[in-house]
Structure 1
Amino acid sequence: MKENNLYREVVVIADDFTGANDAGVSLALCGKKVSVAFDTPFTASTDVLVINTDSRALKASDAAEKITRLAPDIAGAQWLVKKIDSTLRGNIAAETTALQAISGKRQVIVAPAYPAAGRTTQQGKCLVKGIPVNETEFASDPKTPVPRADIGDLFGESHATVVTVDTLTTVLAQGTELLIVDAQSDDELDSIIAAAQHCDPVPLLVGSPGLCDALARHLAPVRRKQLLAVVGSMSEVAQQQIALAASQPGVSSVFIDVNDVLTGVTAGYLARITQALEEGNHCIVHTCVTEAARHQVEMLCQQQQLTRAQLGETICAFLGELTRQALAARAPDALYVSGGDVAIAVARALGAKGFEITGRVAQCVPYGKFLGCAWLRPVMTKAGGFGKEETLREVLHFIEERLSD
């Protein structure tokens, strides 16, 4: 049977069906294949196996006996989780002890907190919205009443050590076998997973959906969506927008020297844009950094013997082609173009036949998609002089938090 577990990154043992689904859903949402088994052995290939033992209301000895049958199904799992009820209902100690025995795990981390549902752990006690669980309605649950809030009491004579997230790593390194970890936030649950990861072997994790959510965040962190912004406008407003956005963490800027464009010395710009995107940053490409640059246009026209219109067309054509190459080399999640001439130059470079509008962000930035070309991801456009200083920063936040694929 062990060969069936080669692709089981995580095995979760739950004591009821809805709890099994609660444990697995965040792992499914982060891209894992999650299977919930009602019966074992389970032979199908899956990234995450969640086993429902349906044992919450059984006698402790019967619940433990069910766990002992699961040895073939847990073998080879990188992460082993005993999913428990966040209000301590069920046979937590009996099932945890049985699972530790068949898995051979030396250390156990118990962290029942589920902050999103108002369940926290403080000084080793389970609280529901700040009230000890045995003083809430769960104390009189018709099937599985909860008589105590002290988590350590569940394990009877077993020596449980109550620790905070700040001391968890140190106590784990000392070899303490049974740890109850206080947690009042998702960040603290994330820290528990991080501490467990550095143990060899990884401890048995005992927790509610909150801990399973933290494990999902650890195994498949959400990649921040990226924007390639191409700003050809020389307006003062556009420069203020660039400066504020570029000062934010995770934002790179690539200044295009117009003299390089006119002399053909453009090698390296594409590599800089690609590098910024590969590093996970937003990238702002622009041609103007100061007010003085706007007053150099006439001098450039005289030097190159070009009209202002010809100069603008040359720069825009370059930006359009550079954008096309950048999108082909390392596609971001969305494209932002500021300045009407630059926007149409980019559209032409991509071979677009039109534009479908689907919405607006930051009050002055329509977005949608190009039609008739290979670039199918969102495109945002903005007139150069429109908006306020925060407009481009607001666009970045929209990309990161709200824009769907």
Structure 2
Amino acid sequence: MHIGVIADDFTGASDIANTLAKGWADGGGLRTTQFLGIPVTAAPADCEAGVVSLKSRSIPAAEAVAQSLAALEWLQAQGCRQIVFKYCSTFDSTPQGNIGPVGEALAQALGVRGVPACPAFPGAGRTVFQGHLFVGDRLLSESSVATHPLNPMTDPDIRRWLTRQSTEPVGLVPHQTVRQGAAPIRTALDRAGAGGERLVIVDAISDEDLVAIGEACADLKLITGGSGIALGLPRNLIAQGVVTGRRGAFTGVQGPEAILAGSCSRTTLAQIELHRSDHAVLEVDVDAVIRNEVTPSDVVEFIRANEGLQPLVFSSNTPANVAAYQARYGTGTVAHALEQLFAQAARILVDGGLRRLVVAGGETSGAVVSALGLQSLEIGPEIDPGVPVLIDRGTSLALALKSGNFGAPDFFAKALAALEARP
């Protein structure tokens, strides 16, 4: 294994695994495996890039640091020469969050400074300019993530945001330097490190910027950012003759299907509305779940009764309604109840023969995959930017784990079609 990734949630892990597997501009990618939790055995011999999926985004910083350092130790034991700490492209984290603590801890463990921090993913509308994060044409603080139920982002200045979480100074490589190419970027990172800056925000407004950043980081031990930060990394290894850039083909999986949606993002809400116009859809009532009036068995019964009709079960809701439920029952209580509802239903369905599963939402995906007891997933073709087909070799289960804000309006139907076998 050449590149090792530590991802702070399961959908984000799929996102960056997809980036590494497809590479840049048909230049070839890496044979990539997504590991669900920290493995206890060695990686497959043909694995060129490994992504360790943690569920650490919203847990206390000390716990996130401990898990991330354990993942680092395993990746180093697999021979990784470069580590990537992957977090959300909208920098989901509170001022007391763990992007800064984990980034610093990994950098200290590896003995490095001047570590790039770039959440940009232009393909999904996330760009960084002068240290400010944009979603489309809006500042981060004016986007839907400003009302995120767990990690509301109210400040678009991610250098300032990261400084609140860090114990050491945070630097900036502005776009005027990035657009000059790899050599000036590397010089700026080295200068920042020499000046005592452990983490350094790097601007990026295009895929070409990310490729240049990747080239500048070819021999760095540690990189941090969103999935876009990995865009140029396969090309470095291919140019060095370390890998060939060729991947195997995906033939698809046939069998019963289901869609589970726990994300409350605007994108997911719009996808649900489109899907419900001509497919079987069940909306979960939060009050009923808390009172145990809606159970995993109810979810399973609905999905089985609508096999072949692309059944969707969702708990997604508007920010105002989510806030009302949280005030009534507590944030942790609501989140846990919904995650367990979907996780237990997914386990029953898969045990009963379900073979195609689409999950929307990072926390929901983490709960579902954990309940299924999967250990590793092979990365297949891309469905939409940032969302690949995932295949469990052991059970012949095909999945798509979608971050809340990702995917085209017709993502759910498109994902099920991508998971299905073709004649």
| TM-score of the aligned structures, taking structure 2 as reference length | 0.47
Larger Rg: 1
| TM-score of the aligned structures, taking structure 1 as reference length | 0.49
Q: More relative contact order in 1 or in 2 (CA 8 Å, sep 6+)?
A: 2
